[in-house]
Amino acid sequence: MERRLCPKPNFFHMKKLKPFVAATLIAGVLMSVTGCKTENNTPATVSSPTAAVRPYPLNKCIVSDEALEAGKAYTFVRNGQEIKLCCKDCLADFDKDPAKYLAKLK
């Protein structure tokens, strides 16, 4: 029952305070406890590998030339270049001859 992830204040001393002050403090404590829990789950470092990725310039599948459909299109990054396919099945074709398809971007 006891959760010791975050340091707990001593509620005993709050009995000396006026009710609204105590309520404010308790509310603040509850918020800080929640915040502490959130911080513990946050990764220490957040890198942004997409910063150097060149965006995909076409609005069609690089393999089949089919229009890209939202929810069905498959996006991946190859050598810093974002690639979009009309479906994940086209990835196999792309991998057979990447240079041939990448030439479409130039």
Does residue 73 belong to the site contacting Zn ion (CB under 5 A)? no
Q: For Zn ion, which stretch binds (CB under 5 A), given 14-22, 34-42, 51-59, 61-69?
A: 61-69
For the chain, where are the alpha helices, taking DSSP H only? 19-41, 90-96, 98-102
Q: For Zn ion, which stretch binds (CB under 5 A), given 11-19, 22-30, 32-40, 63-71?
A: 63-71
Does residue 83 belong to the site contacting Zn ion (CB under 5 A)? no
Residue closer to Zn ion by CB (options 22, 82) is 82
